[in-house]
Amino acid sequence: MTCLRRFRTRLMQLRPARLLVLCALALLAGLATDWFSEQRIFFPRNDFPVFQTLPAAGGALEQ
Amino acid sequence: MMHGDTGRRWSVRILRILLGAVFAWSAVAKLQDLSGFHAALLAYELPIPDRGLRLITLFVPYLEGILGLALIADFWPETVRPAVWGLCSLFVVILLLSAARGLDIHCGCFGGRGAPLAVALGRAGLLCVLAFWLVLQPSRLHASPKKN
């Protein structure tokens, strides 16, 4: 019982702002690493072919 | 009394460094194969959309790394120690739920495929108990000023 009470006291001493800073740091580091990495996980590279409208033979591209 | 106090302080220090090293090692192993970790997370069949899982894939290794290093350096102990316990508890809950659902998966805790579920559950449970004990111990912030 004393053990649980002590544990509760320790949990109450936790500073949410500091926890938030640690979580924000981890998230930012993860996102930044992903952005600059070859194999992106969260920001996938656009691997789909880009289709372009080509002008018809002998004609101008429609505006 | 003095010997007991010194012994306890040393055991706290050793456990802190040990837990921190385990967390840091886990982070490095995951960061070396993020795609593998994402695949391991998918196998848990958690009710989280893929976009969220991808964010977790990036978030968890860095959080583990930061918490591990902070634990070793005894930085912000009143926050880091409960956070480590919370993360271990979360792992235990997820592994327990997966075991209850009868999923035949590997944990992916230390990169690659990882250990079978039962082994991972035992390991996470042990880490959780150790982290719980560490939370109970007074840190340097809780230490009372020395009397002359």
Task: Write the pLDDT tens digit of every residue in B5-47.
Answer: 888 889 999 999 999 999 999 999 999 999 899 999 999 999 9
pLDDT of residue B147: 44
pLDDT of residue B5: 81
What are residue B106's phi and psi, to 5 degrees? Answer: -105, 145
pLDDT of residue B8: 86
Of B21, B22, B94, whose CA–CA distance to B56 is shortest?
Answer: B94
Of B86, B105, B80, whose CA–CA distance to B95 is shortest?
Answer: B105
Indicate the residue of B38, B65, B78 with minimum beta-carbon distance to A14. B78
A22 in contact with chain B, both atoms CB, cutoff 8 A = yes
- B21–chain A nearest CA distance, Å: 17
Domain residues of chain A, as ranges? 2-36
B30 or B113, which is more confident? B30
Residue B11 and residue B130: Cα distance in Å, rounded? 11
Which residues from chain B sit within 8 angstroms of residue A8, using beta carbons?
Answer: none
Indicate the residue of A11, A27, A30 with minimum beta-carbon distance to B82. A11
Stretch 1-20 of chain A: residues touching chain B, C-beta under 8 Å = 3, 6-7, 10-11, 13-15, 18-19
pLDDT of residue A17: 97
**pLDDT tens-place string over residues B62-91:** 999 999 999 999 999 999 999 999 999 999
Bridge partner list, B107: none
| pLDDT classification of B146: cutoffs 50, 70, 90 | very low
Q: Contact B63/A23, CB-based, under 8 Å? A: yes
Q: Token pair of B6, please?
A: 């010194």
Of B63, B107, B52, whose CA–CA distance to B86 is shortest?
Answer: B63
Q: Is the pLDDT of residue B2 over 70?
A: no
Q: Is the pLDDT of residue B56 over 70?
A: yes
pLDDT of residue A39: 82
Q: Is the pLDDT of residue A31 over 80?
A: yes
Q: Contact A30/B66, CB-based, under 8 Å? A: no
- B54–chain A nearest CA distance, Å: 6
Query: B63-100 burial by CB neighbour count: b if 16+ within 10 A, else e?
Result: bbbbbbbbbbebebbbbbbbbbbbbbbebbebbeebee
| pLDDT classification of A60: cutoffs 50, 70, 90 | low
Here the ipTM equals 0.85
% pLDDT > 90, chain B? 66
- A44–chain B nearest CA distance, Å: 10
| pLDDT classification of A50: cutoffs 50, 70, 90 | low
Q: Contact A41/B136, CB-based, under 8 Å? A: no
